[in-house]
Amino acid sequence: MSPLDQGVVAAPAVTLADVEAAARRIEGAVLRTPMLVSDAVSRATGCRVHLKLDNLQATGAFKERGAANRIALLNATERAAGVIAMSAGNHAQAVARHAALAGIRAVIVMPRFTPATKVVRTEGWGAQVVLHGETLAEAAAHAHAMAKDQGLVFIHPYDDPAVIAGQGTVALEMLADCTEPLDAMFFPVGGGGLLAGCATAAATLRPGLPVFGVEVEGYPAMAQRLAGLPVNVGGPTIAEGIAVRDVGELPLAQLRLLRTEVLVVPERAVEQAIALLAEGAKVVAEGAGAAGVAALLAFPERFAGKTVATVICGGNIDARILANVFLRNLLRDGRILRVHLDIPDRPGVLADIATRVAAAGGNVIEVEHKRLFAAPSVKDAELELMIEVRDAAQGNAIVAALEAADYVVRRG
């Protein structure tokens, strides 16, 4: 049973003074990223939305703040020994970069399945990368063993007061740079370090300002822990940066103390947020980085008309995944029309269909023409078209034009 469960108010692990000290400590080593109002995101969500662009950090994510603060606090003996971290993502590059800037040794343990690009980027900052284990838990256990054997300082991605204080500088900058009063702030939640640090800063500087965490529905570990429920998470998600099973105990205690609410958003909202940011705001965000915007899309009635702020906490998204997100979003919005037609296998049919599509304003971007086995008769063929359209209404007009010419059209 925690002290809070017993009715005892526990002392916070991190205070505003810690966050402010971290801000002074990392100044110059970490970019003070811009804050802007996005008209596109504001129109789409029905709010006035301020975006904090921490995807512009050198490693593409906010994790640099906590890593820089923790490394700056090392004593001479610890600096001589070096640091070690376990991560398959942004924390790895953050620790590697700031260890390099400090001129100390860094070892990063990554699971064997880690994509080669992440390994290469981490090594590019001068770190020694050790691939070990099939899971993050196995990699973490190996990192702790190496730390003990070699006297290295283990830098946890979120369960460390110095890291939490460093991440809290995000909110410090947001509150200082925002040009108008805010009704709410939103922060993605993985292990909880970012939310705990930012909620701490906001609670002292703007008492009463609602601060929300955001998790994706497949990994609502923090929401479950705060509600006293068993953790039940899993499955694929585009928000891999916040796909965490074991949240930090220090952030958990801090968030309980502050009574911070965590919102859980569907996977689809995260995809829509990524596409909205890229297409509308011209901002590239990874799944975790877009979670705050996803919350506004998922709960439009709750925040309608409010002035809000969220951090785009990371922009390290694979180009292929980003392309797939765009395509899926176009399909959902009705700006890509997919149709199947059973057509007679004779000269001129393809040209006739293409002419009718063009006359209705559609642009055929992909064609698949199947003669063998797909059609019910050897005299028929199956045609699949991918058509670019302005909106769903134009798509409907194209289908109507084809059906008017006696073609049987199936969507999908």
Contact 265, 291 (CB under 8 A): yes
Rounded to two decimals, what is the model's pTM?
Answer: 0.89
Q: Where does a domain end: 106, 130, 160?
A: 160
pLDDT of residue 372: 53
pLDDT of residue 114: 84
Q: Is residue 8 part of a domain?
A: no
CATH number at residue 103: 3.40.50.1100
Q: Where does a domain end: 282, 302, 327?
A: 327
119-158 tens-digit pLDDT: 999 999 999 999 999 888 899 999 999 999 999 999 999 9
* DSSP line for 206-248: STT--EEEEEETT--HHHHHHTTPPP---S--S-GGG--SS--
The answer on 68 and 148 residing in a single domain is yes
The answer on 304 and 211 residing in a single domain is yes
The answer on 313 and 219 residing in a single domain is yes
Q: Where does a domain end: 275, 298, 327?
A: 327
d(CA 194, CA 291): 13
Q: Predicted confidence band at 5 (pLDDT cuts at 50, 70, 90)?
A: very low
CATH number at residue 388: 3.30.70.260
290-349 tens-digit pLDDT: 999 999 999 999 999 999 999 999 999 999 999 999 989 888 888 999 999 888 888 888
Q: Is residue 377 scored above 70 in pLDDT?
A: no
Domain, as residue range, for 374: 335-411
Q: How many domains does the chain have?
A: 3
390-393: long-range contacts, CB 8 A cutoff, minimum separation 24: 390/335, 390/361, 391/333, 391/334, 391/335, 392/333, 392/334, 393/334
Strands, E, within 217-344: which ranges?
261-265, 307-312, 336-344
d(CA 238, CA 101): 31
Pairing of strands 408-411, 336-344: antiparallel
Q: Is residue 11 scored above 90 in pLDDT?
A: no
Q: Which two tokens stand for residue 303?
A: 């925040």
Q: Predicted confidence band at 7 (pLDDT cuts at 50, 70, 90)?
A: very low
186-225 tens-digit pLDDT: 999 999 999 999 999 999 999 999 999 999 999 999 999 9
Q: Is residue 363 scored above 50 in pLDDT?
A: yes
pLDDT of residue 2: 41
